[in-house]
Structure 1
Amino acid sequence: MHPGYSPISVYLHRDPVDFRKQINGLAEIVEGDMLLNPFEQSLYVFINRNRSNIKILYWDKNGFCLWQKRLELDRFAWPKGEQFDATHQIELRELQWLLDIRRIHGMDSHHLLISDSHGIQFLIRDVTQLDKKSRRLLDRFL
């Protein structure tokens, strides 16, 4: 996201959206489905059907910005079911956990794929289970 952008709030759209939608289509979802103002100083977070992609829409001073992240091997932990509202507000730190590898509201975390300087890839299935030595080694990659 734009350096220096300070959102006041973060909203997740619980249901998957068609990822062919771009800025205009997602802004319509914010207004029509989420019943929110897309011009507020907020982040609006969307997921695709197989939970491998996230898009974040926000308004920055004079125009919309759209940010996207795609996971290569895993799926994002995402709220499902009726226990979560269709528009689910979270804190900014929870969004950072979601985009990293941590858990949010008890949902499973996703795996971490890292590459070293030689292009060798490592898959870490559960970072929370790493011992101190492994965690220090991982910190060198991140």
Structure 2
Amino acid sequence: MFHLHGKLQYFLYPAPVDMRKSFYTLSGIVTSVMNRNVQDGEVFIFVNRNLTIMKILHLEHGGLVIYHKKLENGVFKLPTFDEMVSSQPIAWQDLMAIVSNVKPIQRRLKKRCKIT
């Protein structure tokens, strides 16, 4: 069941994250870099360098949950940051805008050489 809603606090990690990371390593980023506590029930948002994968870490009643979204086309459009911060608080509406306002990208296909 999806337990995210507008009454929770959301924090976006502004640096790119290796999306091979899972519960413990993402929790480590929250604790050591973002200076937050996963046990407080806040929601933590991570994206990869290409802005095509998003992971959301949240502590629910049964334990830690990761929501994972991978875009087939386009990229997430993140808010701009004035300075490098360890975590950027964002509102529920901002998260919904990031997820729903995917910016399409045009990909150029490279010509392939014919081998005869």
TM-score by length of 2: 0.79
Question: Per chain length, whose mean CA-contact separation is higher, i.e. which structure has more relative contact order (CA < 8 Å, sep 6+)?
Answer: 2
Alignment of 1:71-110 (within 5 A): 71-79=71-79, 82-83=82-83, 85-101=85-101, 110=103
Structure with the higher strand share, 1 or 2: 1
Shift of 1:75: 1.1
Partner residue, 2:50: 50
Gaps of 5+ in 1: 102-108, 112-142
Matches of 1:27 and 1:78 in 2, distance apart? 22
Matches of 1:4 and 1:45 in 2, distance apart? 15
Q: Counterpart amino acid of 1:66? A: I
Partner residue, 1:66: 66
The percentage of counterpart residues that share the same residue type is 25
Classify the secondary structure of the residue corresponding to 1:11. strand
Count, aligned residues: 104
Backbone CA RMSD of aligned residues = 2.0
Per-residue deviation, residues 101-139 of structure 1 (Å, max 9, x unmatched): 1xxxxxxx513xxxxxxxxxxxxxxxxxxxxxxxxxxxx
Per-residue deviation, residues 48-91 of structure 1 (Å, max 9, x unmatched): 11110000000002310001111111111124565352310000
